[in-house]
Amino acid sequence: MKVIKSIPEVREAVKCAKKEGKTIALVPTMGYLHEGHISLVRIAGERGNFVVVSIFVNPLQFGPSEDLKEYPRDLNRDIMLLEREGVDLVFAPDVEEMYPEEQLATVEVKGLTEVMCGAYRPGHFTGVATVVMKLFNIVQPDIAVFGQKDAQQAAVIKKMVKDLNLPVEIIVGPVVREEDGLAMSSRNVYLNSEEREAALVLYRALKKGENLLDGGVRSAKTVIESIEKEFEKEPLARLQYVYICHPETLKEIINIEKGAMIAVAAFIGKTRLIDNILWEG
Amino acid sequence: MKVIKSIPEVREAVKCAKKEGKTIALVPTMGYLHEGHISLVRIAGERGNFVVVSIFVNPLQFGPSEDLKEYPRDLNRDIMLLEREGVDLVFAPDVEEMYPEEQLATVEVKGLTEVMCGAYRPGHFTGVATVVMKLFNIVQPDIAVFGQKDAQQAAVIKKMVKDLNLPVEIIVGPVVREEDGLAMSSRNVYLNSEEREAALVLYRALKKGENLLDGGVRSAKTVIESIEKEFEKEPLARLQYVYICHPETLKEIINIEKGAMIAVAAFIGKTRLIDNILWEG
């Protein structure tokens, strides 16, 4: 497994792989890998035969009051985990390599970025779309794999690819959870033991919503109120939003149908967590 | 020469050419071709060996009060001209092919798009950058050729390519002029014979500025005032801006040095024309 920090070297390595007829599959990450990431790497390995994992904590997607500095990093551990998975190439550039001069060009995805997390994290999805565009142009993958945990990110990237005719297929891997239901996230490391317990409220509330749907409820209002109530019972949690929408357009849904997504964001102490479920009906 | 309207067919044709080891050179145009475009096609032919010319009047770059509807079109004539130049492929999609659904994803290039034409045509360069990004992703050229006449466009595209790591080399071809100095433009067809005569003021004023520089003047203020005076003498002309700047950053220059660009935009009757010169010192 190669670990490369320079853009020209990545281009060269991918060029060689393409010459050998390989299908390039990219998994973009911010590192500090967990089983969620590893599941995406495995999907990449099933769909492609030259797997590239990028590890880059992208400053452009962090707001001024957000956790860029504190964001957990452990490149050596990440490399060890990826080596074990048989990854071909790790691209781990530093900030200077990715942003050598003032970044004036950005990718905006209107409509999909004003709702959900976008409403609370202005500029976040512009930062995400821009760095993913850069990574796509550097690596030029045939396939790229994202996680459903970051549902809005997946929707934004899909729309970017469609609208800008990017020659890459987007695959979205399912949410991976701890045994007790907590969605895997690099930010879970911020939680103390009390908060770790309290964080279960996200999935518990989503499951309560799902149960209502399974029981025949179709009103988004009823489902949302039930989820809000579940959060009220958890003193360490502060619900930011609950939103029911189409998983690709992110358009709000009033009367729920099969395929709808229920998404929540909440602070557990100072840690902001997100989660979602797709209701398959 | 192939004339193709569908995106998948273009991708296929380019893929075949790449397999043969060809270097793909793209010339993006809005059609109604003149000698200026043809000069770019020839540069493309010198630098690449599979020349693609796109012809697409891009609605996204026209303001609501601008000349989208009137913009001159003559696809058959364009095809004849390009056939004569030995072009390999003409990509002439319709609007439905390029924008099959609401275009939510766009490329913004801040800093470079608020000055010059950008100040008077809000959204124009977002439209330009977005369609060029789409064309680059569809054709995947090794090289793309733009004209220096649209100096701000060239600067915006270069910055987009650099900031978003697009794997394409941008070449800018010099302004091509009529014998009397008028810069070639598809919009020159709008001019009646009086206006055609009046339109010479753009190049005449630029040359006057250049003469000042050749004579040792270095103050942008002095050059700008001289250009403004030249316009005042022409009753059919209304100067929109004169701007002296670095040709890549478009940052305004106060004390002129070698390599500076002088750019003007003016209405001649109802027709808006632009022109510029690079002062080589």
Binding-site residues of B for (R)-pantoate? 61, 153
Nearest to B107 by CA among B146, B137, B151, B63: B137
| Whether A91 contacts A53, CB under 8 Å | yes
Cβ pairs bridging A and B (under 8 Å) = 79
Same domain as A67, residue A199: no
Report DSSP state, residue A150.
S
Same domain as B82, residue B169: yes
Please check whether residue B281 lies inside any domain of the structure: no
Helices (H), A140-270: 151-163, 193-198, 201-214, 220-232
Q: What is the pLDDT of residue B234?
A: 98
Please check whether residue A32 lies inside any domain of the structure: yes
Query: Hey, is the C-beta of B19 within 8 angstroms of any chain A C-beta?
Result: no
**For chain B, what percent of residues have pLDDT higher than 70?**
100
Q: What is the pLDDT of residue B227?
A: 98
B160, closest residue in chain A (CA to CA):
A105
Please check whether residue A139 lies inside any domain of the structure: yes
Same domain as A227, residue A125: no
| Whether A142 contacts A48, CB under 8 Å | yes
CB contact under 8 A, A107 and B105: yes
CB contact under 8 A, B159 and A105: yes
Same domain as A141, residue A22: yes
B15, closest residue in chain A (CA to CA):
A167
Same domain as A48, residue A128: yes
| Whether B91 contacts B138, CB under 8 Å | yes
Sign of CA dihedral A55, A60, A65, A69: positive
A106, closest residue in chain B (CA to CA):
B108
| Nearest CB partner across the interface for B105, out of A101, A102, A160 | A160
Q: Could you tell me the CA-to-CA distances from A127 to A188, A247, B60 in Å, in that order?
A: 22, 21, 23
Please check whether residue A281 lies inside any domain of the structure: no
Binding-site residues of B? 30-37, 61, 147-150, 153, 176, 184-187
Indicate the pairing of strand B89-91 with strand B2-4.
parallel
Q: What average pLDDT score do residues B138-152 get?
A: 98
Q: How far A110 CA sits from the closest chain B CA (Å)?
A: 5
In chain A, which residues have their Cβ closer than 8 Å to the Cβ of B110?
104-106
Query: Hey, is the C-beta of A162 within 8 angstroms of any chain B C-beta?
Result: yes
Same domain as A216, residue A138: no
CB contact under 8 A, B106 and A104: no
Domain tally, chain A: 2
Please check whether residue A179 lies inside any domain of the structure: no
Please check whether residue B204 lies inside any domain of the structure: yes
Binding-site residues of A for beta-alanine? 61
Mean pLDDT, contiguous 10-residue spans, chain A (281 residues): 98 97 98 98 98 98 95 97 98 98 98 96 97 98 98 98 98 98 97 98 98 97 98 98 98 96 98 97 85
3-class secondary structure for chain B? Answer: CEEECCHHHHHHHHHHHHHCCCCEEEEEECCCCCHHHHHHHHHHHHHCCEEEEEECCCHHHCCCCCCCCCCCCCHHHHHHHHHHCCCCEEECCCHHHHCCCCCCEEEEECCCCCCHHHHHCCCHHHHHHHHHHHHHHHHCCCEEEEECCCHHHHHHHHHHHHHCCCCCEEEEECCCECCCCCECCHHHHHCCHHHHHHCCHHHHHHHHHHHHHHCCCCEHHHHHHHHHHHHHCCCCEEEEEEEEECCCCCCECCECCCCCEEEEEEEECCEEEEEEEECCC
Q: How far B150 CA sits from the closest chain A CA (Å)?
A: 19
Q: What is the pLDDT of residue A281?
A: 85
Query: Hey, is the C-beta of B61 within 8 angstroms of any chain A C-beta?
Result: no
Same domain as B193, residue B255: yes
| Whether B250 contacts B236, CB under 8 Å | no
In chain A, which residues have their Cβ closer than 8 Å to the Cβ of B162?
101, 105
Same domain as B146, residue B69: yes
- As a dihedral over the C-alpha atoms of residue A179, residue A185, residue A190, residue A194, rounded to 10 degrees, the angle is -30
Query: Hey, is the C-beta of B110 within 8 angstroms of any chain A C-beta?
Result: yes
| ipTM for this prediction | 0.96
Same domain as A198, residue A158: no
Query: Hey, is the C-beta of A106 within 8 angstroms of any chain B C-beta?
Result: yes
Other C-beta atoms closer than 10 Å to the C-beta of B155 total 25
| Whether A239 contacts A264, CB under 8 Å | yes
Instruction: Name the active-site residue from B4, B37, B136, B172.
Output: B37
Q: Which residue has the tokens 């022109």?
A: B275
Q: How far A163 CA sits from the closest chain B CA (Å)?
A: 6
Say whether A217 sits in a helix, a strand or coil: coil
Q: What average pLDDT score do residues B118-125 get?
A: 96
Same domain as A241, residue A216: yes
CB contact under 8 A, A107 and B107: yes
Q: What is the pLDDT of residue B149?
A: 98
Count, in order, helices (H) and strands (E) of chain A: 10, 10
Q: Last residue of some domain: A110, A144, A173?
A: A173
Q: Last residue of some domain: A128, A146, A173?
A: A173
What's the CATH number where B127 sits? 3.40.50.620
Q: What is the pLDDT of residue A155?
A: 98
Q: Last residue of some domain: A126, A149, A173?
A: A173
Rounded to 5°, the CA angle A247-A250-A252 comes to 110
Same domain as B168, residue B200: no
Q: What average pLDDT score do residues B163-177 get?
A: 98
B134, closest residue in chain A (CA to CA):
A164
Q: What is the C-alpha to C-alpha distance for residues A67 and A69, in angstroms, rounded to an integer?
A: 6
- Statement: residue B281 has pLDDT above 90: no
CB contact under 8 A, A108 and B108: yes
Q: What is the C-alpha to C-alpha distance for residues B107 and B113, in angstroms, rounded to an integer?
A: 11
Query: Hey, is the C-beta of B250 within 8 angstroms of any chain A C-beta?
Result: no
In chain A, which residues have their Cβ closer than 8 Å to the Cβ of B157?
none
Query: Hey, is the C-beta of A76 within 8 angstroms of any chain B C-beta?
Result: no
Domain coverage including residue A210? 186-275
Binding-site residues of B for beta-alanine? 61
How far, in whole angstroms, is CA B197 from its chain's centroid? 23
Please check whether residue A216 lies inside any domain of the structure: yes
Residue pLDDT, tens place only, B198-230:
999 999 999 999 999 999 999 999 999 999 999
Same domain as B231, residue B143: no
What's the CATH number where A246 sits? 3.30.1300.10
Q: What is the pLDDT of residue A204?
A: 98
Please check whether residue B233 lies inside any domain of the structure: yes
